[in-house]
């Protein structure tokens, strides 16, 4: 048995020494120490040997196995090193050849400015709300104190999707403003509230350099006890100053929206001339920015908020017009043109 083992060791080491590929080495491994390998078979048979022989063959066969494994490893490392060296010699790898660059997209300028606005309002404690783009006539008009025969409807003609009788809250329209989110938010969360609602809005509009049929607004709503227009002035001054990274002044002018009373327009001081008057602000020193006002009691009622206890203000501004002012974009139609030459100028 001892002799047999010695012979097996000699054969195994010889097999290893003549092997000239990793594949052959793998076959040798299976032949000797695989599940039915020659060395393993001897180890398995140990239990049937007489005690005397077991004492000699046991340690010997383990030693043979260990030596086989280490010779196999050594040869494997050697063959791998030879293979790598061969590859390095045969294959040309020029690290100076430029790789295949994958074009990376950019974030749309409107999204960029929207995220920026959201961040600033977030920092001032405003939560960000969302509402449906397909809206009921009730939320878009009636609930906002604009009944069907109100002249204000003419200013916000839109795309009507279904017949009035079919839906619970009147017909469906593409929302003309983000103001419906005011009522939806009050219904859902009650008072007090401090939210903004950015989103897409639609109007049946003849398009030109400053009008689109599809554009974006950001709505703001603050409801609490003892809220006044002074809060709104402070919030907007702070928001615009942070957005433009420059001190900005604001002023109110009277304006009319059926869902606020009093209704106002808010202008901010022209950033180009610092209020002195230039062609951008039509020599007035002010840029028209947004509609706003104190939320009408009827709207609070529609949202389920007690108007004797709470009051608040709301505003709505156009995101495209803000981005146009900020980046000096002369035509609103660029935004949805899909023109990469335009979009690539707004890399983050
Ligand atoms: C409104 O839509 C009111 N919901 C704003 C509001 C909210 C008032 C809360 C009071 C309280 P207006 O129709 O003025 O208001 O539109 C608001 C802004 O949307 C405008 O200042 C303008 O920046 C933008 N906008 C309106 N129509 C278009 C259009 N066709 N294309 C691009 N931007 C537009």
Residue 102 lies in a domain: no
Q: What is the mean pLDDT of residues 320-331?
A: 91
CA 23 from chain centre, in angstroms, equals 49
Residue 334 lies in a domain: yes
Residue 167 has pLDDT above 60, yes or no: no
Q: Based on the domain organization, do 57 and 135 belong to the same domain?
A: no
Q: Which residue out of 153, 214, 215 has the highest number of ligand 1 atoms within 8 Å of its CB and is therefore the one to mutate? A: 215
Which residue, 28, 60, 90, sits at the end of a domain? 90
Query: Collapsing DSSP states into helix, strand and coil, what is residue 201?
Result: strand
Higher pLDDT, 227 or 277: 227
What's the rounded Cα separation, in Å, for the pair 151 and 111? 33
- The whole-number pLDDT of residue 164 equals 59
Range of the domain at 201: 109-346
Highest mean pLDDT among 2-16, 39-53, 189-203: 189-203
Residue 96 lies in a domain: no
Q: Based on the domain organization, do 121 and 30 belong to the same domain?
A: no
Between the alpha carbon of residue 269 and those of residues 171, 237, 286, the distances in Å are 41, 10, 5
Q: What is the domain count for the chain? A: 2
Give residues with Cβ within 8 angstroms of 120, minimum separation 6. Answer: 239, 242, 243
Going by alpha carbons, the residue nearest to atom 15 of ligand 1 is: 291
Residue 62 lies in a domain: yes
Residue 103 lies in a domain: no
Axis crossing angle, helix 38-45 with helix 22-33, rounded to the nearest 10: 20
Q: Based on the domain organization, do 176 and 256 belong to the same domain?
A: yes
Q: Which residue out of 113, 201, 257, 326 has the highest number of ligand 1 atoms within 8 Å of its CB and is therefore the one to mutate? A: 257
- The whole-number pLDDT of residue 280 equals 80
Q: Based on the domain organization, do 216 and 323 belong to the same domain?
A: yes
Q: With pLDDT > 70 as the criterion, what percentage of the chain qualifies? A: 98
Q: What is the mean pLDDT of residues 318-325?
A: 93
Q: Based on the domain organization, do 313 and 229 belong to the same domain?
A: yes
Report CA(177)–ligand 1 centroid distance (Å).
7
Going by alpha carbons, the residue nearest to atom 10 of ligand 1 is: 292
Q: Based on the domain organization, do 9 and 150 belong to the same domain?
A: no
Q: Based on the domain organization, do 146 and 26 belong to the same domain?
A: no
Confidence label for 192 from pLDDT (cuts 50, 70 and 90): very high
Confidence label for 177 from pLDDT (cuts 50, 70 and 90): very high
Q: Which residue out of 141, 217, 261, 292 has the highest number of ligand 1 atoms within 8 Å of its CB and is therefore the one to mutate? A: 217
**Ligand 1 pocket residues where CB is under 6 Å:** 177, 179, 203, 205, 211-212, 215, 217, 219, 257, 260, 290-293, 314-318, 320-321, 332
Q: Based on the domain organization, do 43 and 136 belong to the same domain?
A: no
Report CA(217)–ligand 1 centroid distance (Å).
7
Confidence label for 305 from pLDDT (cuts 50, 70 and 90): very high
Confidence label for 240 from pLDDT (cuts 50, 70 and 90): very high
Q: What is the DSSP letter of 284?
A: S
Q: Based on the domain organization, do 257 and 321 belong to the same domain?
A: yes
Backbone angles phi, psi at 221, to 5 degrees: -150, 125
Residue 184 lies in a domain: yes
Q: Based on the domain organization, do 174 and 58 belong to the same domain?
A: no
Q: Which residue out of 316, 317, 335, 336 has the highest number of ligand 1 atoms within 8 Å of its CB and is therefore the one to mutate? A: 316
Residue 143 has pLDDT above 80, yes or no: yes
Going by alpha carbons, the residue nearest to atom 22 of ligand 1 is: 318
Backbone angles phi, psi at 127, to 5 degrees: -85, 155
Q: What is the DSSP letter of 258?
A: T
Residue 200 neighbours by CB distance under 10 Å = 14
Going by alpha carbons, the residue nearest to atom 9 of ligand 1 is: 315
Residue 178 lies in a domain: yes
Q: Based on the domain organization, do 326 and 194 belong to the same domain?
A: yes
Q: Based on the domain organization, do 166 and 250 belong to the same domain?
A: yes
Going by alpha carbons, the residue nearest to atom 17 of ligand 1 is: 317
Residue 43 has pLDDT above 90, yes or no: no
CATH number for the domain including 318? 3.30.930.10
* Minimum-distance ligand 1 atom for the alpha carbon of 295: 11
Tell me the whole-structure pTM to 2 decimals.
Answer: 0.73
Which residue, 90, 118, 151, sits at the end of a domain? 90
Report CA(6)–ligand 1 centroid distance (Å).
95
- Per residue in 53-107, pLDDT (tens digit) is 888 888 988 999 999 999 999 999 999 999 999 988 888 888 899 989 888 888 9
């Amino acid at each position: 048995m001892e002799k047999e083992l010695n012979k097996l060791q000699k054969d195994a080491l010889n097999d290893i020494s003549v092997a000239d590929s990793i594949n052959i080495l793998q076959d040798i491994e299976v032949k000797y120490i695989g599940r039915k390998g020659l060395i393993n078979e001897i180890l398995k048979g140990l239990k049937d040997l007489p005690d005397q022989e077991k004492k000699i063959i046991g340690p010997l066969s383990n030693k043979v196995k260990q030596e086989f494994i280490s010779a196999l490893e050594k040869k494997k490392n050697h063959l791998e090193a030879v293979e790598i060296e061969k590859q390095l010699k045969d294959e040309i790898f020029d690290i100076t050849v430029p790789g295949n660059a994958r074009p990376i997209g950019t974030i749309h300028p409107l999204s960029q400015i929207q995220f920026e606005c959201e961040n600033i309002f977030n920092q001032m404690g405003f939560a960000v709300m969302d509402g449906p783009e397909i809206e009921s006539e009730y939320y878009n008009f009636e609930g906002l104190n604009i009944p069907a025969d109100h002249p204000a409807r003419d200013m916000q003609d839109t795309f009507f999707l279904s017949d009035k009788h079919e839906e619970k809250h009147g017909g469906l329209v593409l929302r003309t403003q983000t103001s419906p989110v005011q009522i939806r938010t009050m219904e859902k969360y009650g008072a007090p509230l401090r939210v903004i609602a950015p989103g897409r809005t639609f109007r049946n509009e003849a398009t030109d350099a400053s009008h689109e049929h599809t554009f974006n607004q950001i709505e703001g709503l603050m409801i609490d006890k003892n809220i006044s227009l002074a809060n709104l002035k402070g919030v907007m001054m702070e928001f615009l100053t942070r957005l433009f990274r420059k001190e900005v002044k604001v002023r109110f002018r009277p304006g009319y929206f059926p869902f606020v009373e009093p209704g106002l327009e808010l202008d901010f001081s022209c950033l180009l001339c610092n209020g002195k008057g230039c062609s951008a602000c039509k020599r007035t020193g002010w840029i028209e920015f947004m509609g706003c006002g104190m939320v009408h009691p009827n709207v609070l009622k529609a949202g389920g908020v007690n108007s004797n206890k709470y009051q608040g203000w709301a505003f709505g501004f156009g995101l495209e017009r803000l981005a146009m002012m900020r980046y000096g974009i002369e035509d609103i139609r660029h935004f949805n043109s899909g023109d990469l030459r335009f979009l690539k100028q707004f890399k983050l």
